[in-house]
Structure 1
Amino acid sequence: MSETTETAGRRADMVRNRRLLLQAATEAFAERGTDVSMGEIAQRAGLAKGTVFRHFASKEDLLAAIMLRLLDRLTGTAERLADADDAARALAEFMADGVGALAADRAFCEVIGRPSLDHTGVRDGIGRLRDAADVLTARAQEQGTVRGDVTGTDIVLLLAGIHQTAAPLLAAQPQAWRRYLELALDGLRTTGARTLPHRPDHLDLGENAAARS
């Protein structure tokens, strides 16, 4: 085996291992939150614990990498919808994709405020998402369907806000976030408020918190 072939093989192994680690960590954090250990993530990925630390020096670095993947996904959705004919519908679809992704990922709201948000890549990713949301919002405002005092920053913050509002209900009603998304969308519209879906029958924080733990 030539040195070039051997080097290419090592690089391919590194790419594969990083992909396996990110997938295993994403699934573990989404299911159980950020208390999952690095050793458990390594076991889930089928790799040695030392391999985790060769790719990610700390759990915060791993969380930052996962956050960046989510941010890039949402930015891609916003960019794909930027030229849609119905800008208000495009904005609603973007927000539904964002809140739905957060509702499926238990770790995300646990990460807010952690040091991983101080990573340059994550900050840059948030900036790109905000800019893409700005474009969607501006187009809807140009069409006269979204109020003129809303910004892309407002939209990005609403994604996490809607998820956090619905969080006590999600164990019993996984789609309950759609009610609060519709409520937020009504606040964004200039006219035509709609009937809210997924009305909760009751609110029992203790019961639902236990179900989600």
Structure 2
Amino acid sequence: MTATTGTTSPRADMVRNRRLLLDAATEAFAEQGLDASMGDIAQRAGLAKGTVFRHFPTKEDLLSAIMLRLLDRLVGSAGQLLEADDAAAALEDFMADGVETLAADRAFCEVIGRPSLQQSEVRDAIADLCVAVEALTARAREQGAIRGDVTGTDIVLLLGGIHQTAAPLLEAQPQAWRRYLALALDALRTAQPSRLPEEPPGRPQVSVP
């Protein structure tokens, strides 16, 4: 039997340090936006600044990792809500969870259009989110709970749209996003919808100016 020691393996240390850095960076960007410095992130994580750059050579790499974490969380939320009997309530819960998550993150609007969103892993994760949310949306359409021409990609885009609409108010009114979510939900549920102009959107295409 091999004796157990109090030391950890280099691999375990790397995993731990990466988690600490992502936690610290998520907190720093949420509070300060993209002005948060790598030095501040290292200090919050209790690690040397060089450790940050070993894991994330650039700020864009760090932003990409944070976006992947956010997208994975939303995909997981959509998957769990698929088990709910009430498809309309499940879709509403998902949208509320998604917008609330974005509203708590000051950096989100600033990240849109950044090179970090062009990384293939992030683009693939956005596509996965659209697929997961389409499953939720399809159930709500089948139950007649929402208008029949709404797609999962519409819902994903609405999350960011609702957040950006409320963003100027959030410092004074942190829950202002709920007003605009309610307006969006009423539009989704309308009993006699007008025909939507334009075709349904494809997967979101993120471009860098």
TM superposition shift of 1:177? 0.5
Whichever residue aligns with residue 164 of structure 2, its letter is Q
- Partner residue of 2:78? 78
The answer to which structure, 1 or 2, has the higher relative contact order (CA under 8 A, 6+ apart) is 2
- Partner residue of 2:201? none
Give, in whole Å, the separation in 1 of the partners of 2:126 and 2:63.
Answer: 14
- Partner residue of 2:35? 35
- Assess if the C-alpha contact under 8 Å between 2:147 and 2:191 holds in 1: no
- Partner residue of 1:23? 23
**Identity %, equivalent residues:** 77
- Partner residue of 1:88? 88
Whichever residue aligns with residue 9 of structure 2, its letter is G
TM superposition shift of 1:189? 0.7
TM superposition shift of 1:167? 1.1
- Assess if the C-alpha contact under 8 Å between 1:74 and 1:98 holds in 2: yes
TM superposition shift of 1:39? 1.4
Q: Does 1:173 align with 2:160?
A: no
**Which 5+ residue runs of structure 2 have no aligned equivalent?**
193-209
Root mean square deviation, CA, Å: 1.8
**Which 5+ residue runs of structure 1 have no aligned equivalent?**
193-213
Whichever residue aligns with residue 111 of structure 1, its letter is V
TM superposition shift of 1:42? 0.9
Give, in whole Å, the separation in 1 of the partners of 2:27 and 2:113.
Answer: 21
- Give the TM-score normalised by the residue count of structure 2: 0.87
Give, in whole Å, the separation in 2 of the partners of 1:63 and 1:138.
Answer: 31
Once the two structures are superposed, residues 156-198 of structure 1 have per-residue CA deviations (whole angstroms, 9 ceiling, x without a partner) of: 0000100111111111111110010010001111439xxxxxx
Whichever residue aligns with residue 126 of structure 1, its letter is I
Trace 1:134-145 onto structure 2 (pairs within 5 A).
134-145=134-145
Give, in whole Å, the separation in 2 of the partners of 1:174 and 1:37.
Answer: 25
- Partner residue of 2:118? 118
Whichever residue aligns with residue 37 of structure 1, its letter is S
- Partner residue of 1:207? none
Once the two structures are superposed, residues 17-48 of structure 1 have per-residue CA deviations (whole angstroms, 9 ceiling, x without a partner) of: 10110000000000000111111111111111
Give, in whole Å, the separation in 1 of the partners of 2:78 and 2:191.
Answer: 23
- Partner residue of 2:204? none
- Give the TM-score normalised by the residue count of structure 1: 0.85
Whichever residue aligns with residue 100 of structure 1, its letter is E
- Partner residue of 2:196? none
Give, in whole Å, the separation in 2 of the partners of 1:83 and 1:153.
Answer: 20
- Partner residue of 2:203? none
Give, in whole Å, the separation in 2 of the partners of 1:190 and 1:85.
Answer: 21
Give, in whole Å, the separation in 1 of the partners of 2:37 and 2:117.
Answer: 20
- Partner residue of 1:51? 51
Structure 1 stretches of 4+ moved >4 Å: none
Aligned length: 189
Give, in whole Å, the separation in 2 of the partners of 1:131 and 1:117.
Answer: 18
Once the two structures are superposed, residues 36-75 of structure 1 have per-residue CA deviations (whole angstroms, 9 ceiling, x without a partner) of: 1111111111111111111011100000000110001011
- Assess if the C-alpha contact under 8 Å between 1:78 and 1:136 holds in 2: yes
Higher helix share: 1
Secondary structure at the aligned position of 2:9 is classed as: helix
TM superposition shift of 1:8? 6.2
Give, in whole Å, the separation in 1 of the partners of 2:157 and 2:87.
Answer: 19
- Assess if the C-alpha contact under 8 Å between 1:99 and 1:162 holds in 2: yes
Give, in whole Å, the separation in 2 of the partners of 1:34 and 1:170.
Answer: 17
